[in-house]
Amino acid sequence: MLDWNDLRFFLAAHRERTLAGAARTLGVEHSTVGRRLAAMEKALGATLFVRTPDGLSPTATAAQMLALAEEAERAMMGIERIAEGEDERAEGIVRVTTSETFAGFLGRRLAHLRAKHPGITVEVLSGNANLDLTRREADIAIRIAPTTQSELLCRRLATAGWSLYAAASYVEARGAPSPHSNLRGHDVVGYNESLAQVPGALWLARHGAGTTVVLHSGSIPAAFNAALGGLGVAAIPCFLGDAEPTLVRLTPELIGERDIFLVVHPDLARVARVRVVIDFLVATMAREAAFLSGRGPR
């Protein structure tokens, strides 16, 4: 008989295409993955993967099984969410995925949540990858774009404004751009292709003639820290720049905006510990809306 738990190993191997990658996803040893796949192949009487120098190559049988295995995975996760929805205890781990930029903002405010709900532990998964909430890769997502997955709930929390900043030492040595849209002759902290669509990168693309780009960053916090160290002028979110007293805001008005959204599976939204974190995030964003927008006091 097929062990239903082996479907987890099959899906991880199909997605990662290596035993090591599947092992990292599942949090087990790679030898365990190989053993479970071998047991599954024996139970089915069919070869599922061919081992090659480049990794695991799914067979035709595996390709035919994939959609049904994913359907079974969704069903099992649905059963788990239903069971969790009956748990009214506001305690346990809640995994929140967000960008590394917003992770810092969130981390500075989690003490308020801890004071009211000491039984809840928030696990912050920071990075630019969109983790799949339907596959339970995270419980809550904070994103800068609304979800396209109709089975998920999506709520706009706030708007993040962007402006130009430079260290006080840089302004003292080089002066401030005048007008601010004329950066000619200034050193600029720019962004690489991975962040070409963020408001700061788009603004610099339009107004960066005659500048010297001293850093192409693939990280907004890295651009922030470069400006903080006096490397040059940076276009960053106001909630980063306005929180740092040694940075000079060069543009009282905004140069761009991005909406911030909360995304969650509707079944998990009914789980007590997840509901508590959602309420905390909504209240925090509402309380600090002016600061996040860049239109409030520094």
Kindly state whether residues 66 and 170 are assigned to the same domain. Answer: no
Which residue, chain included where needed, has tokens 């909630």?
Answer: 239
Q: What tokens appear for 33 in the block? A: 């993955």
0.75 exceeded by the pTM? Answer: no
Same domain? 96 vs 175: yes
Same domain, 213 and 108: yes
Domain's final residue, options 85, 113, 146: 85
The number of distinct structural domains making up the chain is 2
Q: pLDDT digits over 123-147, tens only?
A: 999 987 888 898 888 999 999 988 8
Average of per-residue pLDDT values in the chain = 92
Residue 1 domain-assigned?
Answer: no
Instruction: Look at residue 39 and tell me if it is in a domain.
Output: yes
Q: Which pLDDT value is given to residue 87?
A: 62
Structure confidence at residue 76 as a pLDDT band (50, 70, 90): confident
Is there a single domain that holds both residue 212 and residue 172?
yes
State the residue range of the domain holding 37. 6-85
Helix, strand, or coil here: 135?
A: helix
Q: Name the domain boundary from 34, 59, 85.
A: 85
> H or E stretch including 85?
helix 60-85
Element (H, E) at 12: helix 6-16
CA 179 distance to own-chain centroid: 35
Whether residues 197 and 264 share a domain: the answer is: yes
Residue 233: give its domain's CATH number.
3.40.190.290
Mean pLDDT across the stretch 228-256? 95
- Domain end, chosen from 85, 106, 136, is at 85
Which of 218-223's residues contact partners 24+ apart within 8 Å by CB, and which partners?
Answer: 218/191, 218/192, 218/194, 219/100, 219/195, 220/99, 220/100, 220/101, 220/191, 220/195, 221/100, 221/101, 221/104, 223/189, 223/190, 223/191
* For residue 85, pLDDT beyond 90: no
Same domain, 293 and 198: yes
